[in-house]
Structure 1
């Protein structure tokens, strides 16, 4: 059946997922416009390449008229946004990003991967295996994956794989995104309190995942990690006519800084590692089993999986030293990533460097959640920008408060990119690894350039 082409406007088109949806819709033949008050890289370059970069910075309500079929509202836009007010005045259809994805996938089987950590890699694994076996599928994922052109695809495929974020849908819709997708198959990878600006207590946060589990329809499936206490609690809850499938760390072996999946006597080399990733592999395998991928097909495809972009990626490697970068920003992610590197390279020391960048991580009340997150690192380093703390309206963070929160009196703390860079350049790297963890960029530090200077 032919798809009805629409005229669509994006309010806050520069968002990481928003701009990818805009590109996907334009490539499908829709007429797409958009605006934003700030657009950063790489969104800016991708939009420019597609002819979608707004010709102005800011909001322009005059662009909207009755000819538009749909307005898609990004989370960055506020209720008083002038374009939103104009769209409401005109009576245009307004969707949040997840509402629009659901509208476009009503007739598809929806697989939604949720979790405080692991959801991006698990979603990426599922899409990689389906792509390897040339299956027809759509997807929404929060990071780039080798072999997929964009991070969003909408077509006439019978199934869609969605990374389900627990953050709110839009200024008009304070519902976690993953509840808007209405999954048939749901995955909960692991739960650890995050987004303290929206969910002020751990109880508030965990409740959203419980609602996700409860949303599983009759005859639907809920796949959950039995080694995560919160995921286990939600997965084991009695739900009428719902199939629950627990999973755990995949059997494996580690030799000479390489990781192998094991299946009986068979061994399959893989390019990702760490307990958290071996759990992600099990989650993906279970979900794929339910949509027609056998264990043999899974093992054949998984060896070539490079990982999702920015997730525990090797920046540079020479004899005796490897430098990694990772998107880790929440306490559970920092802890899991450090442990993964230390376990695989247990014959080397580890310098672990982490940027306090998110709203939660710059909040004094949340900082104690990072307690013992560096316990597997030989040298622990934290960087933050005091100006960002001030901009968010938070009180100053002192060195002593950080050391206490992390329960690490030896913690090295830096507040300028230059001082951090100087410290890292003073270290010796023989038989030593470096791990750089941030959802930001360490104050503009070029990690690739830094790696070339260090080793």
Structure 2
């Protein structure tokens, strides 16, 4: 059976392509732009891809079209598929029908930390010999791929609240029918499709209705937005997580180091072990305990899960050290929301102490460029000693800028940022580049300039 994927170079759709290939489907795909790492990954699995949306790439007609989330009416291939009555479905719909129905699904949802928790959980299951399937929106360094069919009974999926397709405006995660569900956290995001936080809460409420009564929901006790979603109804046992001991929290952590690179994990107030790893920040300790709780639900002893965490090597683009140059440490980070920015910088500040922390930020998402974060973006950056913000003059929002108190340089281009940064850097500086996009290859450009 031949499948053609429209929008194949997105992380999620490329993952579906890899899984479909492992299920022996004949796969081809198209995308507007073809570039690494996804183009390289797909080529390594002998999956042909076409640049652009020329309908000739649909000859002869495939048996099924899988529509990526980026597809819209007016796209030549979309119009051709509809006019020719070629069978089609969304990526989440295909995944549910052809893959997930055969597994115990462990879904990781929430505004932040989905990729990290999905990676941690997949690694714990793999280290335990359970050979899980998984589909993750990033690349964990313990794996050489972001998606795998697996040969066991379990499938870990990063459960995104973004909408499914132009013809299905429900969140992707509605299709997944998890038996184990992690609600990692919940706040406003995706201003391009959600008018307000209540609209997002409604989607999460729908998600809760799909979890069976013999399943498990894992969530932090103190997340007010999650509690409001739960108040709308749930029919599944809950295990609460937290960072302190109390009678309602089943799983909690206790920090051994201020930067959270070392911490204890407790189950029902009984110490299960200690995590010593390269990740930092209290948010990652919280991510870890959610993964351990989910693994416990499928039979993995906490001590075994903790042993796996101690072997976890991190995730690409999650405060990843890009390069060390002449005593300067350059990081690549995916953070693109004030909460994630604050958590990342707070953890790094606790690790590096009084050394200078320089931040380069791209406001790459619709939400970041809107007024939604005008009160929170500034405070999220307070640990920085200096900030460079890529924000072309025609798109600047002064309501957001006036709440930034750290020394700030507004720049129209990456080249301008690079030239400014190299003038002020000192040995022992830590430079964090924050963007969920390619950022015009700034990492390589800055590294070369610092080394010159």
TM-score under structure 2 length normalisation: 0.88
Structure 1 spans left out of the alignment, 5+ residues:
1-5, 387-394
Contact 2:174 2:207 in 1 (8 A): yes
Contact 1:313 1:325 in 2 (8 A): yes
Quick one: distance in 2 between partners of 1:234 and 1:219?
Answer: 20
Establish whether residue 408 from structure 1 lines up as the match of residue 415 from structure 2: no
Q: 2:58 aligns with which of 35, 42, 63?
A: 63
Quick one: distance in 2 between partners of 1:319 and 1:418?
Answer: 21
Q: 1:427 aligns with which of 408, 411, 424?
A: 424
Contact 1:323 1:451 in 2 (8 A): no
State the Cα distance separating 1:364 from its structure 2 match: 4.2
Report matched runs for 1:323-334 at 5 Å: 323-334=330-341
Distance 1:282 1:268, change over 3 A: closer
Quick one: distance in 2 between partners of 1:31 and 1:192?
Answer: 40
Q: Which residue of 2 aligns with 1:389?
A: none
Q: Which moved more, 1:260-269 or 1:206-215?
A: 260-269
Establish whether residue 48 from structure 1 lines up as the match of residue 24 from structure 2: no
Establish whether residue 336 from structure 1 lines up as the match of residue 333 from structure 2: no
State the Cα distance separating 1:83 from its structure 2 match: 2.7
Q: Which moved more, 1:31-40 or 1:19-28?
A: 19-28
Establish whether residue 99 from structure 1 lines up as the match of residue 97 from structure 2: no
Distance 1:55 1:165, change over 3 A: closer
Quick one: distance in 2 between partners of 1:431 and 1:153?
Answer: 40
Q: Which residue of 2 aligns with 1:34?
A: 29
Q: 2:103 aligns with which of 108, 128, 131?
A: 108
Distance 1:355 1:183, change over 3 A: same
State the Cα distance separating 1:310 from its structure 2 match: 0.8
State the Cα distance separating 1:319 from its structure 2 match: 9.2
Q: Which residue of 1 aligns with 2:237?
A: 243
Distance 1:364 1:374, change over 3 A: same
Structure 2 spans left out of the alignment, 5+ residues:
244-252, 266-270
Q: Equivalent residue of 2:156, what SS?
A: strand
Contact 1:24 1:154 in 2 (8 A): yes
Q: Which residue of 2 aligns with 1:279?
A: 286
Q: Equivalent residue of 2:49, what SS?
A: coil
State the Cα distance separating 1:334 from its structure 2 match: 1.1
Q: Which residue of 2 aligns with 1:397?
A: 396
Establish whether residue 122 from structure 1 lines up as the match of residue 120 from structure 2: no
Q: Equivalent residue of 1:348, what SS?
A: coil
Q: Which residue of 1 aligns with 2:380?
A: 373
Q: 1:149 aligns with which of 123, 144, 153?
A: 144
Distance 1:11 1:149, change over 3 A: same
State the Cα distance separating 1:135 from its structure 2 match: 1.2
Quick one: distance in 1 between partners of 2:446 and 2:178?
Answer: 43
Q: Deviations over 1:104-123 (max 9, x none)?
A: 21121111100110111000
Residues paired across the two proteins, number: 437
Quick one: distance in 2 between partners of 1:88 and 1:58?
Answer: 14
Quick one: distance in 2 between partners of 1:235 and 1:348?
Answer: 43
Q: 1:289 aligns with which of 269, 278, 296?
A: 296
State the Cα distance separating 1:177 from its structure 2 match: 0.6
Establish whether residue 221 from structure 1 lines up as the match of residue 213 from structure 2: no
Q: 1:363 aligns with which of 343, 348, 370?
A: 370
Q: Deviations over 1:38-95 (max 9, x none)?
A: 22322222233334343553231562556x3321100111133333344344544322
Q: Deviations over 1:284-334 (max 9, x none)?
A: 011000011111101111111112211111223479753322100112111
Distance 1:155 1:238, change over 3 A: same
Q: Equivalent residue of 1:254, what SS?
A: coil
Q: Which residue of 2 aligns with 1:234?
A: 229
Contact 1:315 1:448 in 2 (8 A): no
Q: 2:262 aligns with which of 244, 260, 263?
A: 260
State the Cα distance separating 1:176 from its structure 2 match: 0.7
Q: Deviations over 1:325-372 (max 9, x none)?
A: 210011211111111111222232321221111122223455444241
Distance 1:56 1:419, change over 3 A: closer
Quick one: distance in 2 between partners of 1:248 and 1:381?
Answer: 35
Distance 1:451 1:292, change over 3 A: farther
Q: Over the residues paired in the alignment, what is the CA RMSD in angstroms?
A: 2.6
Q: Which residue of 2 aligns with 1:418?
A: 415
